[in-house]
Amino acid sequence: MKPGQRVLLVGDPDGELVGAGTPVEQGPADVVFVAIESTGDLELIGSLQHEIARDGAIWTIRPKGRADLTEAMVIGAGRTPA
């Protein structure tokens, strides 16, 4: 993160993301952090593609070590057009 970047936090499964769900006030987000807890949440990744700046990024936060929610699934969801 850099000073002045616009950040959007989506989801807060453990109540640990300060400001989760807070909308970006001016323009698209430079960085979007999205919590992924289930395969149903993977749809969020595609829907957020329109919320990021042209050179922005979506970072996912997910539990590791789960066969039902793999890194490959998260990457695949990011490649699927919204």
**pLDDT, averaged across the chain:** 80
Is-contact 52 60, C-beta < 8 A?
A: no
- 3-class state of residue 32 by DSSP: strand
Q: Could you read off the pLDDT of 8-39 as tens digits, one per residue?
A: 888 765 666 555 555 555 678 898 888 898 89
Q: Which candidate, 64, 35, 66, 37, places its Cα nearest to that of 48?
A: 35
pLDDT grade for 50, boundaries at 50, 70 and 90: confident
Cut 0.85: pTM above it: no
